[in-house]
Chains A and B, each alone.
Chain A
Amino acid sequence: MRRLAVIALPYLWLLALFLVPFVIVLKISLSDTAIAIPPYTPILDLSAGWDGLRDFVADLDFENFAFLATDDLYWKAYLSSLRIAFVATVLTLLVGYPVAYAMARAEESWRPLLLMLVILPFWTSFLIRVYSWMGILSQEGYLNQLLMGLGLIDQPLTILNTNAAVYIGIVYTYLPFMILPIYATLEKLDTSLLEAAEDLGCSRMSAFWLVTVPLSVPGILAGCFLVFIPVIGEFVIPSLLGGSETLMIGKVLWEEFFSNRDWPVASAVAVILLLILIVPIVLFQRNEQKQREAGG
Chain B
Amino acid sequence: MSPQTVFAPWEDPASKPLIRFYGVTKRFGDFTAIDNIDLDIFEREFFALLGPSGCGKTTLMRMLAGFETPTEGTIWLDGRDIGPVPPNKRATNMMFQSYALFPHLNVRDNIAFGLRREGKPKDAIAARVDEMLRLVQLQKFAGRKPHQISGGQRQRVALARCLAKAPRLLLLDEPLGALDRKLREETQFELMDIQEKTGTTFVIVTHDQEEAMTVASRVAVMDHGKLVQVATPDVIYEAPVSTYVADFIGDVNILPGRIAAQDGTRVTIDWAEGQPAIAARTRLALAPGSAAYFAIRPEKIAISAARPEGAANAVAGKVLDIAYLGNISTYHVELPGGQVIKAQSANTDRIAAREFTWEDAAWLSWTDAAGVVLDR
CB of B244 within 8 Å of the partner chain = no
B113: which of A190, A200, A203 is its contact (CB, 8 Å)? A200
Residues in chain B near residue A199, CB distance under 8 A: 65-66, 87-88, 92-94, 162
Asked if A12 is at the interface of the complex by the 8 Å CB criterion, the answer is: no
Q: Which of B99-107, B213-221, B294-302, B321-329 contacts A (4 or more CB under 8 A)?
A: B99-107
A215→B114 CA distance, assembly (Å): 18
Q: How many pairs of A and B residues are in contact by the CB < 8 Å rule? A: 54
> Which of A192, A215, A294 has most chain B Cβ within 10 Å?
A192
Within the complex, which residue of A193, A195, A206, A215 is in contact with B117, where a contact is CB–CB below 8 Å?
A: A206
Is B10 interfacial (CB 8 A cutoff)?
no
CB < 8 Å: which of A192, A202, A203, A214 contacts B100? A192
CA A159 to CA B18, docked complex, whole Å: 65
Given contacts A199-B94, A201-B118, contact A193 B100 (CB under 8 A): yes
How far in angstroms is the closest Cβ of chain B from A187?
A: 16
Query: Number of A residues whose C-beta is below 8 Å from B?
Result: 18
Query: Are B117's CB and A200's CB within 8 A?
Result: yes
Q: Does chain B have a CB within 8 A of A197?
A: yes
Verify if A234 is at the interface (C-beta below 8 Å from B): no
For window 15-71 of B, CB contacts with A under 8 Å fall at 65-67
Does residue A288 face the partner (Cβ distance < 8 Å to B)?
Answer: no
Residue contact A202 to B104, C-beta cutoff 8 Å: no
Q: Flag if B87 contacts A198 (CB, 8 Å).
A: yes
Task: Chain A residues near B117: list those with CB within 8 A.
Answer: 200-202, 206
A-B contact pairs, 27 of them (CB 8 A): A190-B98, A192-B97, A192-B98, A193-B102, A195-B67, A195-B87, A195-B94, A195-B100, A196-B96, A196-B100, A197-B113, A198-B88, A199-B65, A199-B66, A199-B87, A199-B88, A199-B92, A200-B117, A200-B162, A200-B165, A201-B117, A201-B165, A202-B88, A203-B88, A214-B104, A215-B103, A215-B104
Interface residues, chain A, CB within 8 Å of chain B?
190, 192-193, 195-203, 206, 210-211, 214-215, 294
Contacts from B to A (Cβ < 8 Å): 65-67, 86-88, 92-94, 96-98, 100, 102-104, 113-114, 117-118, 147, 161-162, 165
